């Protein structure tokens, strides 16, 4: 039953992708991209990747769409139709697709328990996580500790994007640009405002739940950061940019980003000082298992802070920018 559903979802995915290419209205394309991400998240869920599905839904379908829309508001809404250059693109793409489909015939079939990926590293993780960390979510264990260095890198990717957007949009907009504070926000619309005010606390609460429940269920710092950020973004959409910046000022956001990144790195350095390797949380406490738990809790907090602050900074950088007249 679920397989038929998966086939259906995958077909929808292809159709959505084709529709995105064909539409000339960028606004429509962005909304379709959001749907595409949501379908992708559903597919991930069917394939047992709950954490990834949550992230794709929060980041791909949520935050990405908002950033796209705020960028579209600053540029143009329609694309020009150009037909030149289609043929070489088609050739490149056809070669690529053939190559990949050629490669698939030797791939292990879906769900094959004897596939190499299920034989080598994964059993070790599944076997040792309960013993070494004593919590159920193996994804969090791999993310936070076994491959914690990747996650550190990931935090710094987000950090790079944040300072990059601030740096690139830090240039004064061209003369004649003006920012109309009334144009943003749905202040005059009673219904969205009332519902939004009702929901925002629960969104933030849910974000905190996801943050601190990551060891036990799907979730963790990234998802939590994205969820909390989306709560604040909703506030900004309802009450206007200025109100959102009053509630959570830019300096606080920068503090979150810098603090989160430094918290993560600081935990790693502390491990060196206590005689372990970088990010070896076992040395944090006398009991290695609680050391691991404490370490993962701290770094997940760092990740959540950094991601939330960075996504909000990026959003504000776009949304508060005056429009070229």
Shortest distance (Å) from residue 246 CB to another protein:
22
CA-to-CA separations, 34 to 18, 38, 58, 107, in angstroms, rounded:
14, 6, 10, 30
Q: Considering the complex, state which of residue 97 and residue 247 has its C-beta at the smaller distance from another protein.
A: 97
Q: In the complex with another protein, which residue's Cβ is closer, 243 or 270?
A: 270
- How far is Cα 257 from Cα 304, in angstroms, rounded to an integer? 9
Cα within 13 Å of Cα(226), Cβ side: 21
Minimum CB separation of residue 138 from another protein in Å reads 4
How far is the C-alpha of 145 from the C-alpha of 218, rounded, in Å?
A: 16
> For residue 144, what is the DSSP state?
I
Q: Following CA atoms 186, 253, 207, 264 in sequence, which dihedral angle do they give, to the nearest 10 degrees? A: 160
What ranges in 174-240 are assigned the alpha helix state H?
A: 190-212, 221-239
Please say whether the beta carbons of 222 and 300 come within 8 A.
Answer: no
Tell the smallest beta-carbon distance from residue 177 to another protein (Å): 8
Report the residue number, 219 or 248, with the smaller CB distance to another protein.
219
Q: Token pair of 220, please?
A: 């963790």
| Residue among 14 and 242 whose Cβ is closer to another protein | 14
- CB 31 → another protein: shortest distance, Å? 11
Structure tokens at 311: 């996504």
- In angstroms, what is the minimal distance from the CB of 181 to another protein? 18
- 113: helix, coil or strand? coil
Q: To the nearest whole angstrom, how small is the minimum distance from the Cβ of residue 243 to another protein?
A: 19
- Least separation in angstroms between CB 247 and another protein: 21
Contact 281, 274 (CB under 8 A): no
Phi and psi torsions of 194, nearest 5° = -65, -45
């Amino acid at each position: 039953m679920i397989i038929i559903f998966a086939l259906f979802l995958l077909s929808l995915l292809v159709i959505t992708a084709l529709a995105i290419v064909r539409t000339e209205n960028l606004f429509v394309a962005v909304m379709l991209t959001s749907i595409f991400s949501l379908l992708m998240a559903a597919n991930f869920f069917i394939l047992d990747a709950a954490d990834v599905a949550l992230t794709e839904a929060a980041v791909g379908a949520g935050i990405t769409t908002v950033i796209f829309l705020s960028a579209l508001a600053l540029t143009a809404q329609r694309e020009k139709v150009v037909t030149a250059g289609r043929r070489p693109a088609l050739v490149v793409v056809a070669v690529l697709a053939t190559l990949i489909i050629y490669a698939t015939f030797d791939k292990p079939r879906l769900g094959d328990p004897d596939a190499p990926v299920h034989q080598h590293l994964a059993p070790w993780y599944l076997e040792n996580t309960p013993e070494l960390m004593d919590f159920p979510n193996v994804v969090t264990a791999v993310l936070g500790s076994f491959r914690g260095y990747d996650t550190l890198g990931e935090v710094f990717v987000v950090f790079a994007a944040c300072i990059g957007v601030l740096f690139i949009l830090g240039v004064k907009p061209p003369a004649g640009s003006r920012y109309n504070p009334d144009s943003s926000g749905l202040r005059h619309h009673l219904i969205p405002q009332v519902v939004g005010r009702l929901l925002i606390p629960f969104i933030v609460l849910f974000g905190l739940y996801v943050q601190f429940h990551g060891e036990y269920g799907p979730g963790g710092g990234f998802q939590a950061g994205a969820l909390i950020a989306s709560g604040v973004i909703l506030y900004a959409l309802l009450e206007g940019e200025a109100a959102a910046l009053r509630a959570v000022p830019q300096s606080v956001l920068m503090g979150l980003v810098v603090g989160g990144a430094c918290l993560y790195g600081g935990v790693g350095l502390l491990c060196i000082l206590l005689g372990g390797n970088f990010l070896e949380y076992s040395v944090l406490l006398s009991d290695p298992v609680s050391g691991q738990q404490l370490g993962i809790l701290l770094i997940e907090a760092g990740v959540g802070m950094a991601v939330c602050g960075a996504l909000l900074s990026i959003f504000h950088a776009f949304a508060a920018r005056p429009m070229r007249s």
